[in-house]
Amino acid sequence: MATPERTQAANQYMKEKMLFTPRMFQIINSVAPEAGERFADFYETIWADGALPRKVKELMFTSIGVAYRSPACLIHIVPAIEAGATDEEIFEAVAVGTLAGGFVPGGPGIPYAFQYAAKVLEIAKKYRAGEPWEYVQPAEFRL
């Protein structure tokens, strides 16, 4: 088990590198903070500005999350905002994801993808306002 200070340092390292700290790594960092930090290093190599700016990559991933109805992928709207994504860019990205939901093999269909697009817009609004938000509820563990 890592100390609370070491856990917090790993969480902060991830936020600096990834522009957010995923819930699962907030847990992992309390046990193996080095694993979280190495994941953040890997993440940064893929998502950092390159031929495409980071915000575009994050918006692409958010759009993919909408198209496939992946609640965990919707979190990528937070680093997209941190990387400078505007509300107009977010809307266009989720609109593309909604349309893709109707065309990807095995996709959910446009009406269902639209629900995820609406959730992204809600998250973005709450995040920008500094309000509490949740993109997906924690899993319930039952015996």
Answer whether residue 121 shows pLDDT above 90: yes
| Two structure tokens written together for 59 | 């918006």
Residue 140's pLDDT is 81
The Cα–Cα gap between 100 and 94 comes to 10
Is the pTM higher than 0.95? The answer reads: no
Could you write out the DSSP letters of every residue in 36-49?
HHHHHHHHHHHHSS
The Cα–Cα gap between 143 and 131 comes to 34
Report which of residues 19 and 137 the model is more confident about: 19
User: What are the b/e assignments for 23-52, b being 16+ CB within 10 Å?
Assistant: eebeebbbeebeebbebbeebeeebeeeee
The Cα–Cα gap between 23 and 61 comes to 18
Q: How confident is the model at residue 87 (pLDDT cuts 50, 70, 90)?
A: very high
> For the chain, what are the domain ranges?
4-47, 54-129
The Cα–Cα gap between 95 and 92 comes to 5
Residue 137's pLDDT is 73
